[in-house]
Structure 1
Amino acid sequence: MKPLVSIIIPCYNHSRFIKEALDSIVADTYPNKEIVIIDDGSKDDSVPVIKHWIDNNRDQNVKFTSRENNGFCKTLNELVDQSTGQYIVLLASDDVLINNTISDRVTILKERGKMVLVSDAEVINDSGELLFSSMLTGFHKAIKEKYYTSEGILDEIIFNFSISGAVVIMDRKIFNLIGKYPEDLKAEDLFFYLSSASLNQILFWDKVVSKYRIHSSNTSGVNPELTKTVIKTYKRLFFKIPGFKRKLKLVKRLLGIYYHRFKNNQSF
């Protein structure tokens, strides 16, 4: 039997998009999967939309929790704890899985002996219109070639963090190595990927596996508070970065951030 894959979905005020996200899971033909959803205190109609979908898809293995707002990182940790699959796919409630890739991604992780597999995504807007065919190179201007080596992945995460959307599948054992998502940091994705890359546990598969949706409620752009938490994340992980040269690179990156903030009269 194929190993169980848990698709975990944190939802907050995405009543417009959550049905499409859930339908995309069913469209993937991987035979052994569970869907774990937590609504983090949505103020729109997300909860009734989810309940209606579950009522109409009783053949699906779904766990659904609705509660007051506790924040994104706490929700992620609860989702990981509630899930039971050997492998975990993180799907934001406004994103979409495409191209029927879960089976291939499970096989790659099993055969290559790593714990995290990162892929690419299309970028769409509120209406589902295509903005970029590649999240990595089109949206983030990443150097995709670097993702083919462990050293290149780590360098890209440090200097040009470019991973967005539902592009990761992970072996749940990775959390035994790096711990849970830190609930005092807003850059939980940077923490996860930098921690995993520092342990040489990330692989890259050059395949579009999802659609990453850009809209007004995304956390993106220049955000002074987010910059502060990026600094905090780098400092916290400094001693986990392997190699003296790479530690120097991280120091260089931090100094660059500090200089930019000083130049723009931003407080720390």
Structure 2
Amino acid sequence: MELNEMSELVSVIVPMYNHARYIQQCLDSVYNEDYPNIELIIIDDGSNDESVEVAKKWRESHQGKFHRFHIETQENQGICKTLNRLVSIAEGEYIVLLASDDYLIKGGIEAKVSALKKNPQWLAVFSDAILIDPDSNIVSHSAIEYYNVNRYALQFTNLMAQQIIMFWTPPMQIMVFKKKAFNPIIGVGLYDETMCFEDRDMCLRLLAKQAYGFIDTRAYAYRVRIRQEVTPGVDTNSKRKDFHIISGKVFSHFSGINNLFLRAQYQSYVDRSKNKIYFYFWRLLMLILRGYYYFQLKYKQHFSQNAKYN
């Protein structure tokens, strides 16, 4: 397909680390996308396998498809610093984050870019995804269903925020951003480089600005690590600590039940070893708030269904 300069440029950014086994499948999916104006940017974060060699060899026979195809390497910096570097050199109006062991589903970029155009208040949009295992076998045809996310709630800004805050953080890989989302004045800023993982902090900042949307389509193949809780190289304790620190950082930007839940989540971590009574109080409050969320969700669903038949 010839490049169509009338379409806004989309930057597909790929943080790569030790994925020589998967990077060709990842890049093939970008090549097979039907969006006509793409730049592809890869930063290898200190891989010690043949990831860089595989990517460069692939570029030799495929780079003509792209507006620009850039590969660079660096010593290991971690995911947040690598993403910020990728964002800083991206030239597109829209940014697609693609993990080097995942792949795009054809048509997904167009669907998400179209949704962002139709909803100017959104700075980012996420979608459903299929889940694949390390051998690329399909684990589930729907991440939404696999993680027991209420699809109905994602249609409403307030319910979606509560669903994400209390139960599930969409992986950043299933999102498309407007480039201005990373502007600290008109957007939410770059990734916090003090964090050991990228998803939740960015997601909550977007929710706080009411600039986050959902489209009900499968646009991405996300590789899950069966029986492995966290990303390789990130220990469970560090992720748990950062998870609660994030809640403490952002709770003041929310109101009502969201503010209360995030505050309780943070305080339960602070008080876990200092004051067991307070710790159990905060945990109980979180349980009550989750129950209240389920009640209002079922109430809304019930009356929505009744309205259809009246």
Amino acid at match of 1:104: A
Residue 230 of structure 1 pairs with residue 235 of structure 2:
no
Partner-residue secondary structure (3-state), 2:252? helix
Contact 1:10/1:72 (CA < 8 Å) preserved in 2?
A: yes
The equivalent residue for 1:154 is 161
Residue 58 of structure 1 pairs with residue 71 of structure 2:
no
Give, in angstroms, the shift of residue 252 of structure 1.
3.1
The equivalent residue for 1:44 is 49
- Using structure 2 for the length normalisation, give the TM-score: 0.79
Give, in angstroms, the shift of residue 228 of structure 1.
0.6
The equivalent residue for 2:10 is 5
Partner-residue secondary structure (3-state), 2:63? coil
The equivalent residue for 1:163 is 170
The equivalent residue for 2:298 is none
Greater shift in the superposed pair: 160-169 or 77-86: 160-169
In structure 2, distance between residues paired with 1:252 and 1:58: 50
Residue 182 of structure 1 pairs with residue 182 of structure 2:
no
Residue 195 of structure 1 pairs with residue 243 of structure 2:
no
Structure 2: give runs of 5+ residues left out of the alignment.
1-5, 278-310
Aligned residues: 262
Contact 1:88/1:169 (CA < 8 Å) preserved in 2?
A: yes
Structure 1: give runs of 5+ residues left out of the alignment.
264-268
After TM superposition, the structure 1 = structure 2 runs for residues 8-157 of structure 1, keeping only pairs within 5 Å, are: 8-59=13-64, 60=66, 61-113=68-120, 114-138=122-146, 140-157=147-164
More relative contact order, 1 or 2 (CA 8 Å, 6+ apart): 1
Greater shift in the superposed pair: 58-67 or 4-13: 58-67
Give, in angstroms, the shift of residue 220 of structure 1.
5.2
The equivalent residue for 1:215 is 225
Greater shift in the superposed pair: 219-228 or 128-137: 219-228
In structure 1, distance between residues paired with 2:140 and 2:270: 31
- Identity percentage over the alignment? 31
| Gap change, CA 1:259 and 1:131, over 3 Å in 2 | farther
Amino acid at match of 1:107: S
Greater shift in the superposed pair: 62-71 or 4-13: 62-71
| Gap change, CA 1:162 and 1:247, over 3 Å in 2 | closer
Partner-residue secondary structure (3-state), 1:181? coil
Partner-residue secondary structure (3-state), 2:126? strand
Amino acid at match of 1:85: G
Residue 251 of structure 1 pairs with residue 251 of structure 2:
no
State the structure with more CA Rg: 2
Partner-residue secondary structure (3-state), 2:77? coil
Give, in angstroms, the shift of residue 218 of structure 1.
7.4
Partner-residue secondary structure (3-state), 2:173? coil
The equivalent residue for 2:304 is none
The runs of 4+ residues in structure 1 deviating greater than 6 Å are 258-263
Amino acid at match of 2:247: Y
Provide, for residues 4-50 of structure 1, a one-character-per-residue CA deviation record: whole Å limited to 9, x for no partner.
Answer: 00000000000000110011001111001100100000000001001
In structure 1, distance between residues paired with 2:82 and 2:46: 10
Greater shift in the superposed pair: 180-189 or 85-94: 180-189
